[in-house]
Amino acid sequence: MSRIQRLSPRLANQIAAGEVVERPASVVKEVLENSLDAGASRIEIDVEAAGSKLIRIRDNGAGIDSEDLPLALSRHATSKIVSLEDLECVGSLGFRGEALASIGSVSRLTLTSNPRDDSSEGCTALCEGRDMEVQLRPASHPRGTTVEVRDLFFNTPARRKFLRTEKTEFNHLEEVVKRLALSRFEVGFMLRHNGKVIHSLASANSVAERQRRVAAVCGPAFIEQALFIDVQRGDMRLWGWIGLPTFSRSQSDLQYFFVNGRVIRDKLVAHAVKQAYRDVLFHGRHSAFVLYLELDPTQVDVNVHPGKHEVRFRDSRAVHQCIFSGLHRALADVRPVSAQPTVATPEGLAVDTQTGEIARQPGLGWGAPAAYSPSSMPSLGQAREQVRSYAGLHPAALPASDTPEAVPPLGYALAQLKGIYILAENAEGLVLVDMHAAHERITYERLKAARALDVIPGQPLLVPEAIAVSEREVALVQDHADVFARLGLVVDVAGEESLMVRQIPVTLRGSDVAALVRDVLSDLAEYGSSDRIEAHMDEILSTMACHGSVRANRRLTVPEMNALLRDMEETERSGQCNHGRPTWTRMTLDELDKLFLRGR
């Protein structure tokens, strides 16, 4: 090897460009982040040939003084941080000061800006892939900045060959715009490709306006099947939209997570979300969400990844718990609701005329027989007798769905189809229920609730099991003794690199003890928490629920079917069975009319 020598500015810039500018989408990301950091309220993006020919981004932000333009195009020059203390609480999106220099080294870059309201006092800086040779000239420009990038990679043809088709490159570029549009609702965005308007997003400040923007970016189907959550946990706030389990995806392509306005993809976040959806998502499917985590900037390090896609949390355990508990509770609270707003009813049902959601009043049911209580956990046979004894109630006496009286969300049973499905009528039309899947979820949730009332019982091992581990894992056992005790595990430290398992949960006897403990330790090291044992127990309870639920081809009476419908309305996560399959579906009268071409 040759002796150590300083790289030329041109070569250094080319190397930096290789890290910063991967494709046209990378240029758009860096420039848009600068526009947002400059306080822009309106940004216009024009691209040609997916950005390889032209990228022009204009904003109405703070602008740059003419004497600072050459410095803006030099390496490691930024107005966003000055001291080490600034780096510990970064609030801006970009701060490394390499973006414009890197972009300029592989393109024909023009930077025009004006920090004043007088449009005659702007200035333009030109740089064409040279050794920072910047040309300045006066230019008329309104307050703000325009960055124009032409002929990307014109002087590095080898890198240009790595670009994909125009469609693929534009998809990457559009995704960048979508992410930033979701991160800053107060900013308006306009995206044009080859002269055609792709997105025109006005600033969104109210909840309704924000919801419309999410629908425009993620599709109206997402918003139609999403829950809005807003959770405060200590000094952390988690809010946004999470897709119902019925809106699962084959890929994780609709997952947006923002930390203090910065979009990230983080394994801790992914684990917390996956854990929250574990009981309700079908195998192999992915959840959809647009979530925002707000916390003190000093509690998160954004300077751990060159592209700033990852962050590091100071209290990762608290962040994990905030995300998991917020989503877990929201998903558990999903109940079948009426799709039509109505008014308060004689049965004591409080009805939200804005959302159409029927809420229970204390001590009152859904209109099902008062003697039937979900908490009493009767058999369906017992429920039948209770229903029959209720004030002489007969199915024929139940209110029809076309009366103004309130009808429960899942309506009233009409018949059973092939011993598998319950057909019911509600205020909107037809409800179809998979009776086994529904009863399986009800039984499963009751078993989990019963388990939660008690500390998990443990069973001492006749022969304690020794496990060889690392010193770090021994320290984890000592630091999280309360976690193991709560899980019904007794694990003692037997040496500097060995553990002794003396007790395991009763329901997990026969399991691979060593593998289970190692998995728990792995989770504690990675996320600060573990649900491995609960997950194993839930699998056992799920199997028990499956065997203990009403089977297909079993004939049910109408009162039995109504009792099951009322239970579904009371049970957490009743929209899916234990395996993530849907338990019920609904067809409105309008949908049925279309099916039979009525009114045409």
pLDDT in tens, 395-439: 433 444 545 457 899 999 999 999 899 999 999 999 999 999 999
The superfamily CATH assigns to domain 9-199 is Histidine kinase-like ATPase, C-terminal domain (3.30.565.10)
Average pLDDT over residues 362-391: 32
| Domain boundaries 405-600, corresponding CATH code | 3.30.1370.100
Rounded Cα gap, residues 92 and 81, in angstroms: 9
| pLDDT tops 70 at residue 84 | no
Q: Domain residues of the chain, as ranges?
A: 9-199, 207-332, 405-600
| Portion of the chain with pLDDT greater than 90, in percent | 45
Fold agreement between 9-199 and 207-332: no
Q: Name the phi and psi angles at 545, rounded to 5.
A: -65, -40
Q: For residue 189, what pLDDT is reported?
A: 98
**pLDDT (0 to 100) of residue 141:** 92
Output the pLDDT for position 194: 97
DSSP secondary structure code for residue 472 in this structure:
H
Q: What is the b/e burial string over 18-27, where b = at least 16 CB atoms within 10 angstroms of the residue's CB?
A: eebbbbbbbb
Model pLDDT for residues 331-348, shown as the tens digit of each residue: 988 878 755 433 323 233
What's the mean per-residue pLDDT of the chain? 80
pLDDT tens for 1-11 read: 677 887 777 77
Higher pLDDT, 483 or 571: 571
- Average pLDDT on 286-291 reads 96
* 415 or 372: which leads in pLDDT: 415
Global confidence as pTM: 0.73
Q: Per-residue pLDDT tens for 136-161?
A: 999 999 999 999 999 999 988 888 88
Q: Which three-class secondary structure state does DSSP give residue 188?
A: strand
**What is the three-class DSSP state of 535?**
helix
Encoded amino acid at 99, one letter: A
**Is residue 57's pLDDT more than 60?**
yes
Q: CB–CB of 514/468 below 8 Å?
A: no
Secondary structure (DSSP) of 72-137: HTSTT--SS--SHHHHTT--SS--SS-HHHHHHTTSEEEEEEESSS-GGGEEEEEEESSSS--EEE
Looking at domain 207-332, does it have CATH number 2.30.42.10?
no
> 459-463, 523-527, 589-593: lowest mean pLDDT where?
523-527
Reported as a single tens digit per residue, the pLDDT across 244-286 is: 988 889 999 999 999 999 898 888 999 999 999 988 888 889 9
- Summarize pLDDT for 205-252 with one digit per residue, the tens: 998 999 999 999 999 999 999 999 999 999 999 999 999 988 889 999
Cβ atoms of residues 387 and 398 within 8 Å: no
What is the spatial distance between Cα 499 and Cα 491, in angstroms, rounded to a whole number? 7
